[in-house]
Amino acid sequence: KRKGELKKDEIELVFLDLIREAQARHFSEERLALSNKRPIEKKSLISALNPFLDADGILRSNSRIQYAETLNYDTKFPILLPKKDHLLG
């Protein structure tokens, strides 16, 4: 935005873009496989986390915690991030 304060939804969109960018650099093969409805390779570092792509194209973990009724979506399905990435700190 060129003028004025950023709105909450604008900040959230940039945040999601940074996550997608980091995931694309570190998990490109996994993202490609999942976007083509194929399983990821067993040798992948994240294969045991049952990864999936959400509606926003964000790579998330899927586990038994998904059945917890009182938790929100982000807690049930945590975003997968690389251990170190210069964009995310």
User: What is the pLDDT, as a whole number, of residue 56?
Assistant: 95
76 by DSSP, 3-state: which? helix
Question: Do 79 and 59 meet the contact criterion of CB atoms below 8 Å apart?
Answer: yes
Q: Is 39 left (phi over 0), alpha (psi -120 to 50) or beta?
A: beta
Question: Do 25 and 80 meet the contact criterion of CB atoms below 8 Å apart?
Answer: no
Its pTM stands at 0.83
Distance CA 41, CA 16 (A): 25
Q: What is the band of 85 on the pLDDT scale with cuts at 50, 70, 90?
A: low
User: What is the pLDDT, as a whole number, of residue 16?
Assistant: 94
User: What is the pLDDT, as a whole number, of residue 35?
Assistant: 95
Residue range 42-64: mean pLDDT, rounded: 95
Q: For the beta carbon of residue 76, count every other beta carbon within 10 angstroms.
A: 18
Residues paired with residue 24 on neighbouring β-strands, in sequence order: none
